[in-house]
Structure 1
Amino acid sequence: MPKISAGIILYRLNNSDTEVLLVHPGGPFWVKKNMGSWSIPKGEIEPEEDLLEAAIRETKEETGIKSKGKFIALSPLKQKSGKIIHAWALQGNFDPLDLKSNSFEMIWPPKSGKNNVFPEIDKAAWFPLKEAKLRIVPGQIPFITELENLVNRWR
């Protein structure tokens, strides 16, 4: 059975631009990676958990955002790994300086025997849709494209 994740794409209308909030993964593997490494806030669901409730929970755990409002279901995406990601778009605002992420522990540097704690998400930022498509993990680009098409229909 494939792993399943759920998350929320927070978006805002900024003059004539639409911007999305993306998050950058924390930890030593990602510290020097930028383009093609950002993501929507998301995480794996618990067995029998409602997908939208999981998306709300994971977004809060990764960012501190308490998501509420009109959620717009986007088409699920299957990643190269086989993982399926479910996402909802939600119009809202968030100051990236207010980021509050949970953390994880790992031995770092490798073979050092030292446990270090890293934030799951080390930064968040707003990006116009065109730039978001360059920054986001390639397998999540269709979420940005679908949101872009929806917003263009509403305008």
Structure 2
Amino acid sequence: MPVTSAGVLLHHAGPAPRVLLAHMGGPFWARKDARAWTVPKGLVERGEDVVTAALREFREEVGLPAPDLPTVELGAFRYASGKVVVVLAIEVPAGLVGSPDDPASDDLATRPGVSTIDMEWPPRSGRRATFPEVDRAAWCGLDDARERLVAGQVPAIDALVARGAGA
């Protein structure tokens, strides 16, 4: 059975449709932009349904709950490694952007409740450091999202567009 993750892709339509992406945290990703962004997601625990997992992981990664709106499954996308990511879309009103409830942030490390990873850094130094799993979240246009997302998640943008969302 492949490792399965689930995530939430917030999006809004209009003349400039956008999606919310999260930049992967930690020193390896710090200076990278292309292919260094992800849908806020995480592992589906044994016995857990994908919607519950996706909503839990969204909250853990961005420090705020996903809006309480209907979810639409965009599909299960398989990485070259064999890992499967189930992406759920939630259409939000464009007015969410810039509001107090906007999950976008230039620095998620300052938001309470954001999940972290502990790792040896610098490598082979014997020192441990803690980093947020994702360090920032931003609204991106669809073409920009295709360039920023890790390759295995790009088909989720195409699935969103195919459903007529984001148009």
Q: Same fold (TM over 0.5)?
A: yes
Match status 1:72 vs 2:78? no
The 4+ residue runs of structure 1 with deviation greater than 4 A are none
Structural mapping, 1:99-110, within 5 Å: 99=108, 100=111, 101-110=114-123
**Matched residues, percent identical?**
39
Distance 2:147 2:117 in 1: 27
Q: Deviations over 1:15-74 (max 9, x none)?
A: 412100000011011111111111100000110101100000000000123122110111
RMSD of Structure 2 on Structure 1 (CA)? 1.6
Distance 2:76 2:117 in 1: 27
Distance 2:15 2:145 in 1: 16
- Superposed displacement of residue 151, structure 1: 2.6
127, 134, 138: which one aligns with 1:125: 138
Which TM-score applies when normalising by structure 1?
A: 0.92
Match status 1:26 vs 2:25? yes
Which TM-score applies when normalising by structure 2?
A: 0.86
State the secondary structure of the residue aligned to 2:90. strand
State the secondary structure of the residue aligned to 1:28. coil
Q: Deviations over 1:91-116 (max 9, x none)?
A: 12324238442111111011111111
State the secondary structure of the residue aligned to 1:75. strand
Distance 2:37 2:55 in 1: 19
Q: Which residue of 2 aligns with 1:56?
A: 55
Q: Which residue of 1 aligns with 2:104?
A: 96
Distance 2:42 2:75 in 1: 17
Distance 1:30 1:135 in 2: 12
Number of corresponding residues: 153
Unmatched tracts of structure 2, length 5 or more: 97-101
State the secondary structure of the residue aligned to 1:7. strand
State the secondary structure of the residue aligned to 2:75. coil
Moved more, 139-148 or 86-95: 86-95
Q: Which residue of 2 aligns with 1:42?
A: 41
